[in-house]
Amino acid sequence: MSAYWVNTFREIRDQEKLDAYVALAGPAMRAGGGTFLARGVAAAAFEQGTRERTTLILFDSVEQAVAAYESPAYQEALAALGDGAVRDIRIVEGV
């Protein structure tokens, strides 16, 4: 069953670190089997939502998405991001 990686940025603290992360994370997600469905600043946000950057990535399974997160390539992206942003990442099984 498919899975969706939902990455919402709560706060961007350092644009240079974010840029370094983006340069590494995109290729890492694609190498891990992910397909980007949406990314950018939210068009609208409600309740506790934020209009900061949001990314939605499709994977074939939860296991594939978790493996992409745990991959050395994505861990390198996380190291580049460091404290440059506050985020909320969720992996949700498709219906």
What CATH number should be reported for the domain holding residue 8?
3.30.70.100
Domain assignment of residue 45, given as a range: 3-93
Q: Say whether pTM exceeds 0.85.
A: yes
pLDDT of the residue at 50: 87
Sheet holding 85-93, edge to edge: 35-41, 53-59, 3-12, 85-93
By percentage, how much of the chain surpasses pLDDT 70?
100
Total of domains in the chain = 1
Residue 43, SS3? coil
Residue 49 has pLDDT above 90, yes or no: no
